[in-house]
Amino acid sequence: MDDYKSLTKWIKFEDLYEYHGLVNSGLRTYRSENIIWNRLKGKPLQDNGFRLRSKNYGKVGSYYSLPLEVPLEKKICALNEKDIGVFFVKINYNHNKPFHYIGTSLKSSFGIHQGLLGIFILIAGTCKFAGGSYKEDRTKFIEMRKFFTDKKIDTSTPIFFKNSVYISFFKILKSDKILAQTLRSKEVTLNIFKNFFNFEPELNS
């Protein structure tokens, strides 16, 4: 699973991540603001509720004392926090219209995990409760969420992510600076997607 420049199959969200919702009264959080979200009142969780299964979150935050739902010994996680490369996201709920996104994360300080975290926040629509580069919403994702809202489907729930979100990626070595520079071109990464899937990703601008 650690092969480089090898595209993974579509991986279920739950094999890489856990999602505990934006607000969860059963978990602690270092964030200070009280909010109301989906009729729940409380403070937002670390990373807006998204937890990479392989990441060590240290002694601060929402997940330090929370055991994984499925231990790594029973189910490995193919993605590590500092992995870099190209990633694909597919949203496919109950055979509705699928949506796809392609992104690149080519610095160890902002790897595939950080790129995926931003996309998950966009899917859930919790951008205004996120900080930094994650706080800006995007038109394509607003339209996607409206598509599901019109069908009375809430994209911000853990069950939606568990049943509907899939991830694929290929990692590159941090030392492969020439390949990393090439992949920074949006045209190149879009062509990679089109070559694999024969259509353009709906959620890219």
Structure confidence by residue, pLDDT tens digits, 131-171: 788 999 999 999 999 999 999 999 999 999 999 999 999 99
| Full domain range(s) for residue 140 | 11-197
Q: Is residue 184 situated within a structural domain? A: yes
Q: Is residue 18 situated within a structural domain? A: yes
Q: Is residue 28 situated within a structural domain? A: yes
Confidence of residue 6 (pLDDT cuts 50, 70, 90): confident
Q: Is residue 26 situated within a structural domain? A: yes
Q: Is residue 161 situated within a structural domain? A: yes
Q: Is residue 52 situated within a structural domain? A: yes
> How far is the C-alpha of 182 from the C-alpha of 61, rounded, in Å?
36
Q: Is residue 202 situated within a structural domain? A: no
Average pLDDT, the chain: 91
Confidence of residue 3 (pLDDT cuts 50, 70, 90): low
- The tens digit of pLDDT for each residue in 25-82 reads 888 888 888 899 888 899 999 999 999 999 998 877 889 889 999 999 999 999 999 9
| Domain total of the chain | 1
Q: Is residue 133 situated within a structural domain? A: yes
In the predicted model, is pLDDT for residue 130 greater than 60? yes
